[in-house]
Amino acid sequence: MVKYKAPLREYEFVLREVLQIERELGSYPEYSEATWDMIEMISEQFGKINEDYWLPSAKEGDEVGVTFNDGEVVVPETMKKATRIVIDAGLTQLFGHQEYGGMEFPNVVSVLSDEMSCATNMSLGIYLGLTKGAYHCIHKHGSEEIRKRYLPKFLSGEWFGTMCLTEAHCGTDLGLIRTSAKPNGENYLVSGQKIFISCGEHDMAENIVHLVLARLPDAPKGVKGISLFLVPKYKVNSEGELGNHNNVTCVSIEEKMGVHGSATCVMSFEGSEGYLIGELNEGLAAMFSMMNTERIAVGLQGLGQAEIAYQNALAYSKDRIQGRDLKGTRNPEDEADPLIVHPDIRRMLMRAKALIDSGRMLACWTALAIDRSEKDKDPKVRKENEDLVELMTPIIKALLTDYGVEITSEMLQIFGGHGYIKEYGMEQFYRDVRIAPIWEGTNGIQALDLAGRKMPQHMGRLLRRFFHPALEFIEANKEDENMKEFLDPFAKSLKGLQKTTLYMAQKGLSNPYEIGAAATDYLRQFGLVAMGYMWLLMLEVAFEKRDSNEYYSHKIITARFFFERILPETLSRAIAIGSGSGTMMSLPDEGFDSVHKFTGAAN
């Protein structure tokens, strides 16, 4: 019943027309082969694979799921076939460096592939997404010997990667980890147990390479004593050949609400040989290279699931007849009119479309900054774009996953009772996407990262990477009559965000609770303003081309809905922030209890 078409026209609009990546990235020699013709060809190929193989495999992945027996995890056959088709087509090599066998395509193009993968089979996308993250971490922090030995195998699809952080007694507070690493000549012996390890064990690769946080015996306490180690399932010799099992064992897998095709493992390391990645006691900084990559990828899980839910709800709303148009019969030959004639159905659909379009644009805009931060010859340009990526990463992760859940829920609502039963596939989207706001740091943690770390960092330098171009855009377009109806509310929302930022900075100096209490509202307020800016960038192109094709007129209407119906939420968020932390911190712990011992009422 579930259908999906890769939104290639949307990506052509964002990448080629708005961001103009051919011009922006054409000067980088590494991207010389990434012409639009090549990008278009690969996108169509990847879209076809997702539609024909990944989407059908999602059903078996959900209903059968991975199975566990005596330390081994078996992935459903249709998922293995879908993965093999991507590997055989050479698509796992797209974003790797040429010296290790990759095609070195821009990061901005990976947004497209990640969204499509997460839309059609979120479980399957996790396996390849984690491998990509491990690749980038090792490339940035591993020794040349390690890079040469492991990275080509990632790109060929022969080996997969994972990240191993969480332990049973600690989640986000990684300073409490107990996994140990003892020096053993040129390597280390890693011992301990990790939980919630996505894709920690499976039968889709010859070897699984784990990036494990551990602590040396004499390491400082807390996060300053954490190191990062590469620990393969099977030992690898200097020639890159597999050796003996490395005492890395899957103890069990979790029974989960969704993403049943992705194994969530308890992993045991018992004197397993590991290799240092980065510097001793600086493992958390090295791991953040992977975590930040994964946080953007998780944001795209929210976007992908929202897109496929939207596509199916839209099709259902056009096909399902229910009630009559409030202004009169639309289709007199039928017993009723289609759902899409009803204002509330259109409200949900337009809200979804407005958020998906601007969320996609925000992800691509940030990914373009990643490309500039890595490839530009000017150190100043690289640093400015690196700052922007640091600022936007928690926003993309939290905003797109929160909206992914909200949109998927509303699209299920359009189906009515049919949305709640398995036959139509909508309930799987909701179950799968619900994990996205939780992992890679819950969205509350992302909000604290933005408000508590990124906002004050370097005296607000990161904030300027967003505020300055937004203010410059307002100034450059203030005389444009077409843009006026959008620029005015945007300028007010931007000014409101600046005021909120100043308020939080001042209040937070005297009371850190103020930052914690405001963080989630602040991230949403910031995210909505950022989406508003993305709409302005898209509107610039849409107005210029609106007479050539109705596509651009539709974009203007969708933008108008965003500015009229969604952006005003920034006001309520600002009001909530201004209420401070007093009330929420004043209720004693026992006041949260809803069940109290009856003591009798006074007469």
347 contacts: CB under 8 Å, gap ≥ 6: 565
- Residue 275 CA to residue 229 CA, distance in Å, equals 5
Rounded (5°) CA angle 469-440-82: 100
559 contacts: CB under 8 Å, gap ≥ 6: 354, 486, 535, 538, 539, 542
- Residue 30 CA to residue 106 CA, distance in Å, equals 9
Token pair of 15 as six digits: 């990448």
CA distances from 206 to 68, 72, 133, 154, 232 (A): 18, 13, 18, 11, 11
- Residue 406 CA to residue 62 CA, distance in Å, equals 21
- Residue 24 CA to residue 368 CA, distance in Å, equals 9
* CA proximity to 225, closest of 233, 216, 234: 216
Parallel/antiparallel/unpaired status of strands 242-245 and 234-236: antiparallel
- Residue 361 CA to residue 550 CA, distance in Å, equals 20
Q: Are 530 and 567 in contact (CB under 8 A)?
A: no
Token pair of 427 as six digits: 């309930």
DSSP-derived 3-state class of residue 212:
strand
> Strands, DSSP E only, in 87-186?
159-164, 180-184
- Residue 33 CA to residue 399 CA, distance in Å, equals 33
Sign of CA dihedral 521, 523, 528, 532: positive
Q: Are 22 and 36 in contact (CB under 8 A)?
A: yes
Which residues have a catalytic role annotated?
440
**Numbers of helices and strands, H then E, in the chain:** 20, 11
R_g of the chain computed on alpha carbons: 25
* CA proximity to 366, closest of 341, 342, 393: 393
- Alpha helices, H only, 415-483: 417-420, 426-433, 443-448, 461-477
Question: What does the DSSP assignment read for 250-297?
Answer: EEEE---SS-TTS-EEEEEEEEEEEEEESSTT-HHHHHHHHHHHHHHH
Parallel/antiparallel/unpaired status of strands 187-198 and 72-74: unpaired
Percent of the chain as helix, strand, coil, to the nearest 5: 60, 10, 25
* CA proximity to 13, closest of 33, 54, 55, 43: 43
Residue 468 buriedness (CB in 10 A; 0-12 / 13-18 / 19+) = exposed
* CA proximity to 78, closest of 66, 90, 89: 66
